[in-house]
Structure 1
Amino acid sequence: MTLRTNPSAPPTPVDGDRWFRRYAVRAAPRRRLLVLPHAGGSASFYHAWGTSFDDATEVMVARYPGRHDRLAEPCVETMDELADQVTAALLPHLDVPLTLFGHSMGASLAHEVALRLERAHGVRPAALHVSSRKPPHRLAPRTLHTEDDDALIAEVRRLGGTEDALLDDPDLREIVLPAIRGDFTIVGTYGPRAATPVGCPVHAHIGEEDPSTSVADMGAWADIAPAGFDLQVLPGGHFYLTRQHATLTGAIARQLATTG
């Protein structure tokens, strides 16, 4: 396997449907990696992932409604609706093995998409990677999405992962707040749910200083992983994946290399 290691080489997005930013590969892909962003996140946060894998792996990053080039579209506010829409958009891309990676809210979404692919379409993902999020049976309802803008911004700052300049500028904050509130509505109204297993191996990842999810919580994803489970604990907090990018994507790359 040859990894792309030149950080100065920009990833090359290719045109696709409105749901996914896709990155070019040199030949027909042998596998795909779908990245599902966190609450308030966008495809641009995962831009560097486009050049972090070998030339046989096509990387796709979900583009949720209500941000960037989908800014004019209303935000989705329930996990089931978002999972249904992402799954439907994935159907043309199931010709090669598919691995799912989701961070924070995206981890719950990845699990729900995996379940839908298996139950409704008879497609078992090659693997499910979940990051910085409790499994469905350990979640509890939250009401943060019903609080004022200052409370939302304070939580985003606490977790990190969003530039302070974006939150400090009143005009920019007005643009991003609807997506943040919509995503926190999804997070706050999802779970607890049954520990419904998936048919593929599950790989869990977490920063050891995460303020919202413990290592024990991530270990409980084993309850839905009869096909195999492992847990990677890395230095950092909720957004450990920024500083630990190479280590995290390296672990995912090793799993991807086993899928074809």
Structure 2
Amino acid sequence: MSEVTVNTGAWLRRYHPADAAPTRLVCFPHAGGSATYYFPLSRSLSPAVDVLAVQYPGRQDRRNEAPVGDVAELADLVTEELRPWADRPLALFGHSLGATLAYEVALRLEAGGVEPVRLFASGRRAPSCHRDQDAVHLADDETLLTTVRSLRGTRPEVLADDALLRRLLPAFRGDYQAAETYRRSPGAPLLRCPVTVLTGTADPEVTRAEADAWADHTTGGFTLHEFPGGHFYLNEHALSVIARIREALDR
């Protein structure tokens, strides 16, 4: 994979710079994920869309940094990094934990006078929905790794390398802590940007009702797209997901 990173600092990756694109799409990875997960999406959308991918601490070239196990803290940090990139309309795409983080970043951007054109929330229940039984981040290492393997969102070569997986345990645990301890602020305003939700029909992490509840978090309009598959439905339906992103951004 050939990577191009242009003046993005530690937090952002810009693999296929598209300086003439009218819209910039910021992509937020899932728990345990990294910016490179969005390399194929960036390649497919460029040069029509300029894609930035967020790189969380604790993985890849940031592996020596401590993970951040709190969504609010992550959102504060990412929002500051994005402000210099708001020279053109911003859209946000997040999968799983990334969807929650993208939502919180969208709130902060709107509060600061930057109006995202759309939030794409994939594979994640609405911010108002939580499950009290979520406690993977408190489990032992083997239980945590079993959960990671079962969701099938980690590259096969990583899953096959037990030593590498164990080096990634702090990042996995920190991300799951952020996802599972997240609670929406009771006083949070409604988003003004439209929200597009994408979900797998057999995703154990998101029910249809939990996906529909995203409509309660925006005044800008709500669209739901369902795809056959589980939590990482988008791996099998990448072309359809990209088509939905293109259609929404074209509007």
TM-score interval, smaller chain:
over 0.9
Q: Deviations over 1:95-130 (max 9, x none)?
A: 1000000000001001000000111x1111000000
Partners of 1:206 and 1:233 within 8 A in 2: yes
Cα drift, residue 206 of structure 1? 0.3
User: In 2, distance between residues paired with 1:206 and 1:137?
Assistant: 17
Matched, 1:203 2:196: yes
Q: Is the 8 A contact 1:215 1:233 kept in 2?
A: no
- Normalising by structure 2, report the TM-score: 0.93
Question: Per the alignment, in what secondary structure is the counterpart of residue 187 of structure 1?
Answer: helix
Q: Is the 8 A contact 2:18 2:49 kept in 1?
A: no
After superposition, residues 1-260 of structure 1 pair within 5 angstroms as: 12-15=3-6, 16-25=8-17, 27-119=19-111, 121-141=112-132, 142-191=134-183, 193-194=185-186, 196-258=189-251
Matches of 2:75 and 2:101 in 1, distance apart? 6
Q: Write the distance in 2 (CA, Å) between the matches of 1:14 and 1:126.
A: 24
Find the aligned partners of 1:40 and 1:51 in 2 and give their Cα distance.
22
In the alignment, the residues of structure 2 paired with residue 26 and residue 100 of structure 1 have an alpha-carbon distance, to the nearest angstrom, of 17
Q: Is residue 16–residue 46 contact of structure 2 (8 Å, CA) maintained in 1?
A: no
Tell me what 1:7 maps to.
none
Distance 1:92 1:207, change over 3 A: same
Q: Are the counterparts in 1 of residues 69 and 178 from structure 2 also a CA contact under 8 Å?
A: yes
4+ residue runs of structure 1 moved beyond 4 angstroms?
none
CA 234–169 in structure 1, closer or farther in 2 if over 3 Å, else same: same
Question: How far apart, CA to CA, are the structure 2 residues paired with 1:27 and 1:67?
Answer: 28
Flag the 1:192–1:57 CA change in 2: closer, same or farther, 3 A: closer
Give yes or no for contact 1:12–1:50 (8 Å, CA) kept in 2: no
Count of residue pairs brought into register by the alignment: 248
How many angstroms apart in 2 are the aligned matches of 1:209 and 1:140?
17
The root-mean-square deviation of aligned C-alpha atoms, in Å, is: 1.7
Other structure's SS at 2:91 match: strand
**Any idea what SS the aligned residue of 2:116 has?**
coil
Give the % identical residues: 42
SS of 1:151's partner is helix
Q: Structure 2 CA distance, aligned partners of 1:202 and 1:26?
A: 24
- Write the distance in 2 (CA, Å) between the matches of 1:158 and 1:115: 32
Aligned partners of 2:62, 2:101: CA distance in 1, in Å? 19
Letter in 2 for 1:244: H
